Amino acid sequence: MSTLNRTSSRPFALVLPVLLLLSVPSTVSAQTHVESATCSKIGQSRRVSGSTLVCRQVGKKRVWVAQSKTATPSPAVMLTASPASLDSCRLPDRRDPSLVDMPRSLGFPLNQSRSKASGKLNLVLVAADFPNFPGAASEITKLKDEIRKFDQWLAFQSNGRLSANWQFPAKWHRLPLAAADYGVVGFQPLTHNRITADVISAADPDVSFAGIDEMFVYLPDSLTKSEPNRDPFQGILPQFGGKDVATPEGVIMQVKGSGTVSQMPQYGYKPTPWALWAHDLLHQIGIEGHNPVESFTLESEDYTNFVMSAWNQFLAGWMRDDQVACVPLSEIAARTVVELDLVPLQLANSGFRTVIVPLSESRAIVVESHRKTGYAANFGASGILTYLMDTKNVLPYAQRENTASVGSRFLDPNRVQIGARPRVGNARKSAVMLQGESASFENLKIEFVKAGVRDRVRISVAK
């Protein structure tokens, strides 16, 4: 009987393993089919047969993927080309008209009603002195060198898209009155008409004023050094100028003279004439400027960083399309994490020079790299800067603490002045990100992953 029982039980003992084996393929097949199915919303999840499936981007498709119990970081996608059209990053200028200082633009299109950002500019430089403050021959030699430096900077900064045709009579033009007799104390534009007219009259035999975009006037060092212990803005003839200035040969769109203000140091450094000319020219071609680059930059007459912010270079059309990575939030979310290498703005290497993440029609995050070299030899530190551009929400002029608040702000302006991150100047904070640091805005995170010939930046969106 025991033999019969053992014999009769074998078929039952074999049936269960066979059934189990037969059931496995159908279960795996079903799950594989669910995982390969397309889905619509990145990040959406569902439970299937005890597993969690998450909607992910795989190649060019959105499909269901089984989520492992131990979450692993998503691999970063290295960007070598802009994933979106640059038009997505060309934010329109949405300021209220009462907050626009014409012709200056914060957003696209760049206002070109006063001058042009590409082609050839017609510029004039006049050296004007006074009976009681004569100029020296050595200053004329210095001005020739300043013109050379200006031309070099313009070629570098504009990617060769803008150049200048200069008129500079290499001589002093004597004005009829003593400096103080012009009555310009402080910056009072309504009092500039007399000195501007006298400069034009004195230079007229040597200069053709027809078709001039801008005229710069240089006053002698004997004047600018005459009040060493006084605020240059309150001294004799600090600066002067005018728009649409009439001449015997036509109208000059802008005249700008830099007097004692050219001796006013910032962070221990004195300005250079070519940089002051460049600053004024940027306004004339339509740049509002004053975007933050280590608190200030060339656009706001800084003396530590003579390059324009990446946003302003983009706005002026001075960056090639292959130098800008336009990465909308949806593109980052689809890839989870993206990385790209940025060329520092002070260098001329090929590659991305900025990454722009549009957040809305009037807001975008801008990321750029800087080096303490070349046009930023006096810069506080090499590193990454991130800031929010806002082409709509700006304060009225009377409520602005300074012009650097126009349209932009650093994501993290409170980094301390220690170690490898010094800020030129006394007790000024730095917004420079060093390798290994990060900055965040809303659900966006920017990390400075690796410094090198190019700086590697990682961008991710919090789920």
96 within some domain? no
Average pLDDT in the chain: 81
445 with 416, same domain: the answer is yes
DSSP type of residue 434: P
Q: What are 203-255's pLDDT values in tens digits?
A: 999 999 999 999 999 999 888 777 666 665 566 677 788 889 999 999 999 99
194 within some domain? yes
Q: Reduced to 3 states, what is the DSSP secondary structure of residue 32?
A: helix
Q: What are 34-57's pLDDT values in tens digits?
A: 667 888 887 788 888 777 888 887
9 within some domain? no
> Does 462 have pLDDT greater than 50?
yes
274 with 184, same domain: the answer is yes
Between 347 and 397, residue with greater pLDDT:
347
> Does 425 have pLDDT greater than 50?
no
53 within some domain? yes
> The tokens of 86 are what?
């640059």
Query: Which of 260, 284, 308 is the C-terminal boundary of a domain?
Result: 284
Residue 317: which pLDDT band, with cuts at 50, 70 and 90? very high
At residue 49, the pLDDT reads 76
Q: Which residue bears the tokens 């004799």? A: 236
278 within some domain? yes
Expressed in angstroms, the distance from the first to the final Cα of the chain is 68
Alpha-carbon gap, residue 284 to 103, rounded angstroms: 7
Q: Cα 83 to the chain's mean position, in Å?
A: 20
317-330 average pLDDT score: 96
> Does 288 have pLDDT greater than 50?
yes
Q: What are 166-189's pLDDT values in tens digits?
A: 999 999 999 999 988 887 655 566
At residue 188, the pLDDT reads 60
Residue 348's domain comprises 77-91+293-461
301-319 average pLDDT score: 85
At residue 377, the pLDDT reads 83
Between 436 and 425, residue with greater pLDDT:
436
308 with 440, same domain: the answer is yes
Domain count, the chain: 3
Q: For the domain that residue 197 is a member of, what is the CATH number?
A: 3.40.390
361 with 417, same domain: the answer is yes
Q: Where are the alpha helices (DSSP H) in 158-250?
A: 193-203, 221-224
At residue 414, the pLDDT reads 57
200 with 250, same domain: the answer is yes
- Which region, left, alpha or beta, applies to residue 286 given φ > 0 means left and ψ of -120 to 50 means alpha? left
DSSP type of residue 287: B
> Does 342 have pLDDT greater than 70?
yes
Phi, psi of 227 (to 5 degrees): -130, 70
195 within some domain? yes
The winner for highest mean pLDDT among 136-145, 241-250, 269-278, 300-309 is: 136-145
At residue 15, the pLDDT reads 47
Share of the chain above pLDDT 90, in %: 45
Query: Which of 284, 307, 341 is the C-terminal boundary of a domain?
Result: 284
Alpha-carbon gap, residue 422 to 93, rounded angstroms: 34
169 with 61, same domain: the answer is no
Alpha-carbon gap, residue 207 to 241, rounded angstroms: 18
Residues 6 or more apart whose Cβ sits within 8 Å of residue 344: 369, 370, 371, 382, 454, 455
DSSP 74-119: PPPEEPSS-SS-GGGG--B----GGG--TT-BSSBSPP-SSS-SSE
299 with 280, same domain: the answer is no
Alpha-carbon gap, residue 235 to 334, rounded angstroms: 59
At residue 293, the pLDDT reads 39
128-154 average pLDDT score: 96
190 with 46, same domain: the answer is no
32 with 81, same domain: the answer is no
Between 253 and 463, residue with greater pLDDT:
253
316 within some domain? yes
Q: Reduced to 3 states, what is the DSSP secondary structure of residue 295?
A: coil
160 with 250, same domain: the answer is yes
Alpha-carbon gap, residue 175 to 439, rounded angstroms: 54
At residue 183, the pLDDT reads 72
Cβ-contact 407, 108 below 8 angstroms: no
Query: Which of 242, 264, 284 is the C-terminal boundary of a domain?
Result: 284
104 within some domain? no
At residue 306, the pLDDT reads 86
Q: What are 354-380's pLDDT values in tens digits?
A: 999 999 999 999 999 999 899 888 777
278 with 146, same domain: the answer is yes
Between 51 and 196, residue with greater pLDDT:
196
> Does 269 have pLDDT greater than 50?
yes
415 with 454, same domain: the answer is yes
Q: Reduced to 3 states, what is the DSSP secondary structure of residue 62?
A: strand
